[in-house]
Amino acid sequence: MLDTLYPFLLIIHLFCAIIFVGYLFFDVVIYPNVKKILGDEINLKVSSAIQKRARKIMPLCVLMLLLTGGMMLSRYVGSDIGFFNSRLQSLLMIKVGLASVIFIFVAISLSCAFVFKCRNPLGKIIHPVALFLSIFIVIIAKLMFYI
């Protein structure tokens, strides 16, 4: 059954990854330069609009990444086939570890925003660190099948 679903899971996973990494890239690399051009009043409006929309899209995107990634993971690792028996499995588990750090960051952000209604203690470092980790995840994902 998983073999039948795998191509669909992969497509959903890739689209969600594109959305997630694209948003991080925009927020870390492009938007800070745009902020300098905009005045404070316009910047506040634009930033608020972006955050409002991102808070609706990104949690679903991260959830889909987690679910599809977990389902696809079961094809390559598990109690019957091992976790670190091959280079592919080792790289995959490193990728899972890096993705787990990002997921923890997302959980902290969402908890602060929706549950505790407080300012995120990790604040401005989350997006640059998540982008950095995402770049490594993408590189590892491409190398897994060639090393």
Which pLDDT does position 38 carry in this prediction? 87
Q: Which residue has the tokens 């969600």?
A: 16
Mean of pLDDT values over 129-147: 95
Mean of pLDDT values over 3-19: 97
HSE of 132, CA atoms in CB hemisphere, 13 A: 6
**66-120 pLDDT tens trace:** 999 999 999 999 989 999 999 999 999 999 999 999 999 999 998 998 899 899 9
Which pLDDT does position 90 carry in this prediction? 96
The helix/strand count (H/E) of the chain reads as 5, 0
- Which structure tokens are listed for 125? 């470092």
**39-65 pLDDT tens trace:** 889 999 999 999 999 989 999 999 999
Would you say residue 123 has pLDDT above 90?
A: no
CA distance 128 to 130: 5
Would you say residue 10 has pLDDT above 90?
A: yes
- Which structure tokens are listed for 19? 């959305």
**What's the mean per-residue pLDDT of the chain?**
94
CA distance 74 to 93: 12
Residue 78, strand partner residues: 82
Going from N- to C-terminal start, the domains of the chain cover 2-143
Which pLDDT does position 147 carry in this prediction? 85
Rounded to 10°, the helix 126-143/2-25 angle is 140
